[in-house]
């Protein structure tokens, strides 16, 4: 895939920053936006509309690399007795509502006359079919909601952007501040490696694969 332009949302985070750097190193003109650097709050539609409304595009690639495992001190639950309404809603807003609002206001920035990719970072734990351990309710539910949105958005996007690809991507367990407390014995990779892995997957996608969920190796993840 030949990329000329890319928009990275969440470019101050571990994976987002690495993606922006990797794309720039490949000669891609990158627009990098984040809350810390640009005031872009993906949970606030006015903020999303304002930040994306200033852009002209088109972008061959739009990546949403935002997300959180822990919001306002609410850690992933080990049992449903630890659930709270606020914890559930906070996860949903950050991990599902945010990327959905980005699509709403960024779809116009995708070209209609050539291949383009909209990708959002999801997580394997958001897979219902792959859930064999339970727990982590709020995070799992929010990522499952994100997956459903991306699947539906791919169907709608294809009506106006026939060459576009909209996918959910699982980056693996990446050594960032987001995962530091929860990686445990899981093998991790540096953000720079994760970025290269994800870009490799993105490069190989075709419009026939829009609306699907892939891991960092390019393998399908069940819903």
Give pLDDT, residue 175: 86
Give pLDDT, residue 184: 66
CA angle 210, 216, 220 (to 5 degrees): 45
Distance in Å from the first CA to the final CA of the chain = 26
What pTM did the predictor assign? 0.95
* Domains detected in the chain: 5-215 (3.40.50.720)
Q: Could you say which DSSP state residue 122 is in? A: -
Give pLDDT, residue 38: 94
SS3 sequence of 146-204? HHHHHHHHHHHHHCCCCCEEEEEEECCCECCCCCCCCCCCCCCECHHHHHHHHHHHHHH
Residues 122, 200: Cα–Cα separation, whole Å: 17
For the chain (223 residues), the mean pLDDT of every run of 10, in chain order, is 91 96 98 95 97 96 96 93 97 98 98 97 96 96 98 98 98 82 77 97 97 97 96
């Amino acid at each position: 895939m030949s990329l000329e332009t890319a928009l990275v949302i969440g470019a101050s985070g571990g994976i987002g920053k690495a993606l922006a750097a990797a794309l720039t190193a490949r000669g891609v003109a990158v627009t990098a936006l984040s809350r810390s650097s640009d005031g872009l709050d993906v949970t606030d539609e006015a903020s999303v509309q304002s930040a994306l409304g200033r852009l002209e595009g088109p972008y061959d690639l739009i990546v949403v690399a935002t997300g959180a495992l822990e919001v306002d001190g609410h850690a992933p639950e080990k049992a449903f007795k630890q659930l709270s309404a606020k914890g559930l809603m906070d996860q949903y807003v950050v991990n599902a509502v945010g990327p959905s609002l980005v699509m709403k206001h960024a779809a116009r920035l995708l070209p209609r006359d050539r291949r383009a990719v909209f990708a959002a970072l999801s997580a394997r734990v958001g897979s219902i079919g792959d859930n064999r351990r339970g727990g982590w309710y709020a995070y799992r539910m929010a990522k499952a909601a994100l997956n459903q949105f991306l699947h539906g958005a791919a169907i709608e996007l294809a009506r106006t952007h026939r060459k576009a690809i909209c996918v959910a991507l699982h980056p693996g367990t990446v050594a960032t501040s987001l995962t530091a407390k929860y990686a445990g014995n899981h093998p991790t990779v540096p953000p720079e490696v994760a970025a290269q892995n994800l870009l490799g997957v993105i490069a190989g996608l075709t419009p026939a694969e829009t609306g699907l969920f892939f891991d960092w190796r390019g393998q399908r993840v069940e819903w």
